[in-house]
Amino acid sequence: MYPPIAEPPARAPEPLPRRALNWVLGAWRPAGSVMAVCLALLLGWHVVNGKHGLTTWNQKRVEDKQLQKEIEDLNQENARLRTRVDRLKSNPDEIEHEAREKLHYAKPGEVIYALPESPAAGK
């Protein structure tokens, strides 16, 4: 038969620096994984809420739409005023109407009656 297997001699406990080194070498992967997850979460938060993040981008997009509408309204008002100025420059009837309306001019022999403005309701 086979000779009996001899048990290996009992090893002496490892010195403390060696055990600490083994623990550090065994723990670096989980610690690195935790750090990678933390960095990913921080990066995700920064992408959404950072200085140039999605929240700010969405606010700027809404502001841009409002400003574009305001620009369009002002362009329409400019066009309307431009046509009015052209009419005032070229149409004598328009000039007369403006003088009668704003400056209260009258033709010779006309009488202008000025009615008092109605008092505000509830006073």
pLDDT, tens only, 21-47: 777 777 778 888 999 999 999 999 888
pTM over 0.85: no
Report how far apart, in Å, the C-alpha atoms of 59 and of each of 49, 63, 73 are: 12, 6, 21
pLDDT, tens only, 87-100: 989 988 888 888 88
* pLDDT value for 28: 77
Sign of the dihedral through C-alpha 84, 86, 87, 92: positive
Q: Of 1-15, 44-58, 83-97, which range is least confident?
A: 1-15
